[in-house]
Amino acid sequence: MTKTYSLTLTIKRYDPDRSARWFQTYRLDSGPILRFVDLFRRINVEQDATLAWASSCEHAQCGSCSVNVNGRPMLACELLVENAVTLFGTTVFKIAPVSVAPVIRDLVVDWEKAYERVHRAKPYLIKPKELPPGMTEHRISPQELARYEEATRCINCFCCAEACISGNRTFIGPNAAMAGIVRMMDSREKEKEERLDLLYSEEGIYRCHTSKACSHVCPKQIDVAHFIALAKEGAF
């Protein structure tokens, strides 16, 4: 027989029309393998159609459903009820939007604002190397790729930036810093100076204090702190 949990979800609400902020509590019974996005959807259908939340792929690939669950930034689309109960040891959850970007309504934040940091880190090849003579593509050896392949799993959900001890006022953020670092590790990239200028600025790696909260909360299990430490080590 499937186990049923009696859940209490206290959600931080925000109404931009009235500039009002408040906490609202919802109680619902749930099976163990419902995800938190499923709970939000059920609240919309059964209790409160006005609750706003965001999601897109719902397969932990787009990062648009990041929220704080009992103070821990997580993807609502991959957090199962039974995993949440195991992790926090309770069926009472306080859910708030992430603080890396301004809140638009309830749990929905302005991701474009958050993405501005990543855009500044230019997560693409700025100046690709010329193709070797007679070749139609660049070749990267498996050994070379293994050094940074883990970092390419980043989906920019900003959970790391949310958890960081430096906060997100003055630090470009772990994911944006890593986006620059991983491109420097890519042998196809020629441009390094521009990336180093950002990394070694006051909003770059000097704001990282190696609290490793980024690695702890990353839904993709990327050791973000390791990549930032490579820049501190002077590996580039």
Partner 1 sequence: MKVPEESQGIGAALLPILEKLPVLSRYAKTRGWYYVISWLHRVTGIGLVIALMVHMVTLWSWQTPNVYYTGMNIPARPFFVFLAWILSLFVSFHALNGGRLILYELFGMRGDETMIRWTFGLSAAYAAMVGLLVILKNQRMSAFFFWLMMFFAGAVTAYVVDSRTARGRHSLFWKLQRISGSFLFITMPAYLLFAYLNPGLADGAQTVVVRLQNAFVRVVTLALAVSALYHAGYGLFSIMADYASSRTLRAGVTALIAVVIAVLTVLAFRLILSV
Name which of 69 and 108 has its Cβ closer to partner 1.
Answer: 69
213 contacts partner 1 (rule: CB under 8 A): yes
- Binding-site size for partner 1 (CB under 8 A) equals 40
148 contacts partner 1 (rule: CB under 8 A): no
156 with 174: CB under 8 angstroms? no
Identify residues 73-112 at the interface with partner 1 (CB under 8 A).
74, 78-80, 83, 86-88
Q: How far apart are CA 69 and CA 73, in angstroms?
A: 6
150 with 223: CB under 8 angstroms? yes
Contact pick of 212, 222, 224, 227 for partner 1 (by CB under 8 A): 212
Of 207, 150, 116, residue with least CA distance to 231? 207
Give per-residue burial for 56-74: e unless 16+ CB within 10 Å, then b: eebebebbbbbbbbbebbb
Name which of 80 and 125 has its Cβ closer to partner 1.
Answer: 80
* Structure token pair of residue 115: 């993405």
Contact pick of 180, 207, 224, 227 for partner 1 (by CB under 8 A): 207
Of 182, 210, 181, residue with least CA distance to 196? 181
Instruction: Give contact residues for partner 1 (rule: CB under 8 A).
Output: 60, 70-72, 74, 78-80, 83, 86-88, 163, 165-167, 169-171, 196, 200, 202, 206-207, 209-213, 215-217, 219, 221, 226, 229, 231-234
